[in-house]
Each structure stands twice: as C-alpha cells, then as structure tokens.
Amino acid sequence: MKNVPIIVLDFGSQYTQLIARKLRESGVYCEIVPYNEKIEDIKAKEPKGIILSGGPASVYAKDAYHPDSGIFELNIPLLGICYGMQLITQHFGGVVVPSDHHEYGKSELEFVDECECKIFENSPNGQIVWMSHGDKVDMLPDSFMRIARSANSPYAGIADIDRDIYAFQFHPEVYHSEHGTTLLKNFAKYICRVESTWNMGSFAKEQISKIKESVGDKKVLCGVSGGVDSSVVATLLNEAIGDKLVSIFVDNGLLRAGEREQVEAMFKRLGIDLITVDAGGEFLIKLKGITDPEQKRKIIGETFIEIFDKEAKKQENIEFLAQGTLYTDVIESVSVKGPSKTIKSHHNVGGLPEWMTFELIEPLREIFKDEVRKLGLELGLPKDMIGRHPFPGPGLAIRIMGEVTQNELRLLRESDTIMQEELKASGYYDKVWQAFTVVLNVKSVGVMGDNRTYDNTVCVRMVESVDGMTATFAHMPHEILERISGRIINEVDGINRVVYDITSKPPGTIEWE
Ligand code: XMP
C-alpha cells in the first residue's frame, strides 16, 4: 500500500473535498477517509499528519460522529477544523458549548501576541477567515493555548504546540478564507514536515497504475461524450490498458448540431478507437410524454446503461464501466465517503440503475473541473479540446422545459449554434465558463413584419465559474446579447422572444433541470 502523507477524516462537511484540493494545490498528496476509519487502516498508510474535517453535527449530540480514538495516540500532528476542533477539545478534556451567536461568514483573525506559530507563517495578522459554526470552545484542555481569536470566537485558533496538535474554528479550505491555502500548506510543511512534491503528473501516474491494478486482464467499456471529462478518462485508460479499452459514443439524439462528427474526429486525433452507437430513436421513444426533470435523468441514465450492457455482451471479458464523474457531480448526489448531506440526485451518479452489473471506474471522482483541465494538459490533450464548455450527460433533454420533441430539439440546436457562433466570433467563448440556450416552452405574442406571432421563447444562459460548484451569470456586453437575440429570432423559425438568465448558483443551478 502507498504511503499517504496526510489523511483527512471526513465528518460530513460540504467542504471536506476542498481541504484535499487546497493541499493538492500546495503539492501535497492526501486521501479522504470516512470519519470512523479503523486505526489499523490509518496506520497502514503511514501518515505524517491527520486533518479532522468540519461536519454538520454537534459533538455533544447523542449520535455525534467520533473517530477511532487511536488517532490521538499515534503521536503525529493533528489539525482540527470546526467540528474537528471541537472533537479535539472534547477529547483532551476541554469544554464545547452552543454559541450565543451563530457565526456564519467573514471574520477578522487576530493572532495572540505571544504566539509565533509556524502554522501562521507567511500569512498576516488580521486576515479574513470564513466562519460557519453554531458551537464553540468554552474552556481549553490543559495543555492547549489560544493562538488566535476573532470578534465572536475567543478561541478561533488553539494549539498544543509540544504535541503538534492545532485546531481552527474557521474553515481555511474555503475560497473566502484569504490565506487558507497557506495555513494548510504550513500545517503540511512545518508541522507534518511533508515536502511539496505532488502534481497533476503524479496524479496521472497514480491513476494509471490504479487502473492497471484493478483491471488486470479484463476489459473496460468507457462511455465517451466528447467532453473534457470523458476524453481525459479515455486517455488515462488508453495509457493504462491500451487495447483492453473499448470506447463507446452513444448518439442519443440529444446532441448539439454537428456534435457527433466533432467527437468522432476528436477521437481519431487522439488515436483512440471509437464505436458509435446510433440510439436516438430509442431515447426519444422512452422520453415521450415525460416532463419531470428527475424522471428524464433516470430514463436517460438507465438507457445509457442498457446500451452499454448490450455492447459489452458483443465482446468478451468486459467487466468495468469507466465514466468521467467529477466531484461536483458526486457531492450534490450522494455522500462521497463520509456522511455529508444529499443536496439533489443528479448527473451520471444519480441516474444509474440498480441492476447494473459493471464495476465502476471513476478516476476523476475526487477532483474538480479546473483540475481535470490541468490533468488533460498534462496528458497532452489539445488546447481546444480542454477549453470546451461542459456539456451534461443527459444532453439537450435537460435544456428543454417539458417534453422532448423533435421540434423542440430543432429549436434548441438552431439557437445554440447561433449563440456559439457569436460567442466564438466575439472572443467570449473562452471568457465564459459555460454558455447554452434553453427552450422554455413559454409562448408569447410578438409582431414580425405586419404579422402577429405567437411563438416559443429561448433563454440564453452564460455563466462564470471556477469549478461548477458556484457560478455567477456572465456580465456580457449588451451588443453581443443583442446580436444573438436578433439572429435567433430572425433565423430560427418558431422563436419570437429571447431572454437572458440573470440567476447565480446558488440559489439557482447552472442547468435548468
Ligand atoms: P448544475 O446544473 O448542477 O451543473 O449547476 C453543474 C455543472 O454540471 C453539469 N451537469 C452535468 N454533467 N451529467 C454531467 O456530466 C449531468 O447529468 C449533469 N448535470 C449538470 C452542468 O452542465 C454544469 O457544468
């Protein structure tokens, strides 16, 4: 088993994966394991430090999550974050109480004068940190000292310096904690004495050897869509297992204009054999009369698997299905390895049927979109492929409000093509994170020439984002929107109104369904 320099125990915070991500950015490899991982399994990884994540529970609740208490006897550095801090406090004999003021949002972190902690190295006194907690430490355990405070948290940071145990009430892993990456890096570098040697190249190597090991002499079916994620997965598999990879592209009838040809050309360029399955009719029949978004997703997910199953039976020895599932897909659908709350069931993750017999290979399951792009560059994928906007597995079906029909698909394809053309012509394609049109199935009255019209509405959605977890609507120049709107209304028969979506995520999501 490989040594893991830092282990993150997951107590169910929505932010746990961000801890890992910040460490990766700092060149430190870590693994997230469930909060109750057995001490023997932890020891086997020979960690140099353990981070206890935040979590939604209270340490004094009856069913509070507790780690194997053996972690406190390993004599290696510990860092507790929020709930993790409260666990450390409780374990060593301090007191945690409900806070009078729940603290959510930005706070100024004030170092305690006498503390010259290495954990704060290269980060300023007064830095902004992100708080999100209902409980607080009320009394420190004996050997601990306060290292930082904030307006509402007298113990914003505490430590038992001799034993290398540190804890923060705030979340250094979230974007709004200005110097959070530095603090996590300091923990790794100065407290755990871990070198920053990890990078996307190491990630690629690790994934390739993991794939080789788990696949053995079996074959893997990889569902590709032409998007960055599945192309990166196919490339990893191609390097790992070569001709034991069977790449399948399903033309589900829910693709954008020209997409099938583009994907086929792209895989040719990558030197990966591709089987295209013509299944448009099958999907559309199953989607007939379906208007509920979740039902659409389930039907599409299930049909994909039926097709993969059928294709797999044509060959021998296919036991695995590889997918480009990302962490963003996972966190909103199901808990990754720990007890985080389900937000909504969606993406590849939520749509797979229970009868599926393939074992899944999802090498990107723990990383974010922008990291996948870096990985793609590392693997030598061409820049234009890396820069492609995300396109969801369920395709155009979740961009048509209501039933998916040939006419709505036409409206969507034609309007989307115009929008993409204008975006590319103006140089904005690479400036926005994702852009697409949505057919609203809302009719309104218009006047074209001297005639009254009563036609459908298209919504233009353009967002800026880093990882798809949060997004803001793009502040586009009005002239570009005007050109897109004018062309869609003039060129797409059946559309007489175009609107622009000014909703951010949260509270909206990027896709409409
Ligand atoms: P939402 O709509 O959840 O989307 O804010 C976040 C990002 O994920 C993409 N998306 C999907 N990708 N399968 C995918 O592979 C799906 O079912 C799916 N649904 C949404 C979406 O386009 C955005 O980039």
Return the CATH number at 449: 3.30.300.10
Q: Is residue 290 part of a domain?
A: yes
Q: Is the pTM of this model over 0.85?
A: no
Catalytic residues: 82, 171, 173
pLDDT of the residue at 466: 81
pLDDT of the residue at 505: 86
Q: Are 241 and 212 a contacting pair, CB within 8 Å?
A: yes
Q: Is residue 392 part of a domain?
A: no
Q: Is residue 507 part of a domain?
A: no
Residues 60 and 143 in one domain: yes
- Nearest CA among 224, 247, 233 for reference residue 312: 247
Tally Cβ neighbours within 10 Å of residue 409.
23
DSSP states along 33-82: EETT--HHHHHHT--SEEEE---SS-TTSTT-----GGGGGS-S-EEEET
* Ligand 1 and 510: CB distance under 6 A: yes
Residues 293 and 413 in one domain: no
Tally of structural domains, the chain: 3
Of 386, 418, 433, the position where a domain reaches its end is 386
pLDDT of the residue at 134: 80
Tally Cβ neighbours within 10 Å of residue 200.
18
Q: Residue 511 C-alpha to ligand 1 middle, in angstroms?
A: 6
Tally Cβ neighbours within 10 Å of residue 371.
19
Angle among Cα 429, 225, 387 to the nearest 5 degrees reads: 25
Q: Is residue 511 part of a domain?
A: no
Identity of the residue numbered 299: I
Residues 165 and 208 in one domain: no
pLDDT of the residue at 345: 45
Residues 303-346: tens digit of each pLDDT: 998 999 999 999 999 999 999 988 777 666 544 445 555 444 44
Q: Is residue 512 part of a domain?
A: no
pLDDT of the residue at 142: 95
* Ligand 1 and 390: CB distance under 6 A: yes
Give the CATH number for residue 241.
3.40.50.620
Residues 150 and 99 in one domain: yes
Q: Are 394 and 297 a contacting pair, CB within 8 Å?
A: yes
Residue 387 corresponds to which tokens in the numbers above?
């820069």
Nearest-atom number in ligand 1 for the CA of 512 is: 2
510 vs 229: CA distance, rounded Å? 17
Nearest CA to ligand 1 atom 7: 468
Q: Residue 188 C-alpha to ligand 1 middle, in angstroms?
A: 33
Residues 222 and 276 in one domain: yes
Q: Is residue 505 part of a domain?
A: no
Tally Cβ neighbours within 10 Å of residue 194.
24
Residues 15 and 132 in one domain: yes
Nearest-atom number in ligand 1 for the CA of 508 is: 5
331 vs 344: CA distance, rounded Å? 9
Q: Are 21 and 65 a contacting pair, CB within 8 Å?
A: no
Residue numbers in the chain where pLDDT is lower than 70: 1-2, 114-115, 330-352
Residues 326 and 211 in one domain: yes
Of 130, 165, 191, the position where a domain reaches its end is 191
pLDDT of the residue at 343: 42
Residue 251 corresponds to which tokens in the numbers above?
């033309």
Residues 183 and 209 in one domain: no
Q: Is residue 397 part of a domain?
A: no
Query: Element (H or E) spanning 491, and its range?
Result: helix 478-491
* Ligand 1 and 58: CB distance under 6 A: no
* Ligand 1 and 223: CB distance under 6 A: no
DSSP three-state, residue 253: coil
Nearest CA to ligand 1 atom 16: 347
Residues 156 and 206 in one domain: no
Residue 307 DSSP symbol: H
DSSP three-state, residue 408: helix
Residues 418 and 456 in one domain: yes
Q: What is the CA radius of gyration of the chain?
A: 25
Residues 380 and 419 in one domain: no
Q: Residue 417 C-alpha to ligand 1 middle, in angstroms?
A: 20
Angle among Cα 47, 67, 194 to the nearest 5 degrees reads: 20
Q: Is residue 229 part of a domain?
A: yes
State the sign of the Cα–Cα–Cα–Cα dihedral 23, 125, 106, 462: negative
Residues 36-56: tens digit of each pLDDT: 999 999 999 999 999 999 998
> Could you tell which of 294, 510, 513 is best to mutate to test the pocket of ligand 1, judged by most ligand atoms within 8 Å of the CB?
510
Domain span at residue 366 reads 200-386
Of 168, 191, 214, the position where a domain reaches its end is 191
Residues 493 and 418 in one domain: yes
